[in-house]
Structure 1
Amino acid sequence: MTDLDLLHFEQLKKDVQAQYLKEYTPSYDEISKWKGIDIIYFQEDLRKKAKGNISEKSFYTYFKSSPVTKLPRIDMLNLLSIYAGYDSWYEFKKTHLFAGELLKDEDKITDEEASQLQNIVSEVNIADSDEIKPQNSVSDAPKLNDLQKNNTENQYINKNSDNSEIAQKTLIKNPKKNYQKTAWITATAIFVTLLGLLGFKDEIFQKTYVYCFTDADRNLSVQRDIEIKVIKENESPILYRIKPGECFRYPTKDKTLKMQISSTTYENLEINRNLENAPEEETIELKPDDYKMALYYFSIKDINGENSEQLIKQKRKQLESLISNNAVITQVYDSDIYGLETLDKEDYITLVTTPTTSLKNLNVIEMIKAKGKIVSIKFKISSHENNK
């Protein structure tokens, strides 16, 4: 990467911005000021015209700061170049050369050609190592055989007569040494056994408790993600995430258990158990939360077909009645720099009533209601980057 490449990328960002402004009117003309629904509309247009996508995290990393200090991956550069009207990143740079700049032929090398070169180099290295090994083995073998012959012939002639005297002395001392050796082995075995019991005492004395979850209204297993916080005295809570339809398995040697259970569509529940008398397997009923259920349904419902306009109006009306005018609505991003963004009620309703593919990845993290209205929503649109 060169400084010229970074300058070319800044040019490409301007071309991408100009291309989008031909058909759309975002909240700001400058791409670095786009946020929320503007980014979603841009992602949708990118998927339609360039058959690929960039995540919100990538957008914030490369478009929110200028100038950038590092280039995106080559597949993202190619994708943005295609969106701006060029065949590839190489072709874009070729048409935006600076004074005195020359593009090297190596810049145009494809991934397939690079892989073929790497395979050829690996095969040459293997062939070289195979040719060297046989020469070393042939030259060393005779020397080893000669040394073994000489040593063997000398040993049996010189030391045979002394062996009988050493054996007689050893027989006298062996009984006493055998008793000592046996005692040491026994003591060591006992020590190792005690040490093992101390090291694995938690695994030996703990039990595993299994908790499964059912819908209180439907008497079926819960088909939503569940979060469980295990609360221990004088310790920070331990968070567990349970996938739809799965049970929670908790190994412990404690005598009590305190859990806080939450889900996007069920009422929060706190469980306290005395494990001395509790069964090792238990089924817990979760009661559906009507407000959470409605918000979740209206947020992810796909609106298409002939009656889409009527359905959108109906969806907006229902969300208007559910959400308080002063509700605090927060969108969570993957980006470390731009982690949170606040939306007002109308922006949120517009976001979830616009039929885009991004809504399929919308996840309501938290919802709080008071006095019959939703007063707080925290949500995230999961990023599934696919630049192919």
Structure 2
Amino acid sequence: MTELELFYQLKNIVLEQYQKSYPFYTGNWKNFSSQDILNLIDDIQQKTKQTVSEKWIYTHLKPEVNVKLPRKDMLDILCAYIEETQWDAYKFKAIPISSTVEEKRDILPKKIQKKNVVLGLIGIALIIGLCLTWIVFSRKHNSIQLQNSYTKDSISKQDVKAYVIEDSIERPIDLNQAANEITVPTKVVVRSPFYEKKQVIISPNNPITAIELKPNDYALMLKAFMKSDIKDWQTRKEQLQKILSDDLEVIVLLPNDLGAEYFNKNEFSKKLIVPTPSLKKMKIVSVQLDSSNKISFLRIAHEE
């Protein structure tokens, strides 16, 4: 195992360590947000008494491919974060494993080694064939990506709905399907409870590969409250006072079409301050803001 391969392994363990402190995060380095980066910097500082910069994380941890190994002093910090003494000690644990593998490989009969080489070549040929097929397919079938306009992180299509406007009537569509089937310039509206509404024109002569959406910060904070484990009740209570309107109305749609429940600000805040497992299974489907940009109305449904 090379040092660069060990670094990839270390990155995965660092992410697992981060999720111990922030168990509500279930993503990977690719969709690691700017807030997650700030959380990680704070967590590393608390556990190691040392610091890393946002730029360093963007340069070395977020990329899927690393072309070179970071400085040893930074690797030592990451190792300390995962409760290893230093990078050299981390490498030392991996060396016997890789050496044993090489020794076993050396004593394999030559016929078996030759067979493995042939199988490896066949596997490489299959991978190349699949990649070429994907390239040809992707050229024929466009895909529209949704991105946070600030962080450029991908946005889940589950949180976004798209509509084609025809004669002042909105018709729901699938964005990827629209990218392939629209034959004339068409007005499309993208809506989400967590992002501001965006209107775009999709045209076969001017294809769109990405749509950037401006986040609704308070709605995203509320989503995090509903999905995360409680850490500081008092802090959460104070934050809720800032983002929720005093006239807040909350409608919770009951499953199986059994009706709906109503909550005011005080009642809903109590549910968020001490969240329950059932709260984590709910999702925000509609958000409205008042004149001061505080959340004044919420519609919530149970996730299937």
* TM class, shorter-length: 0.3 to 0.5
> Larger C-alpha radius of gyration, 1 or 2?
1
TM-score w.r.t. length of structure 1: 0.38
Greater relative contact order (Cα 8 A, min sep 6): structure 1 or 2? Answer: 1
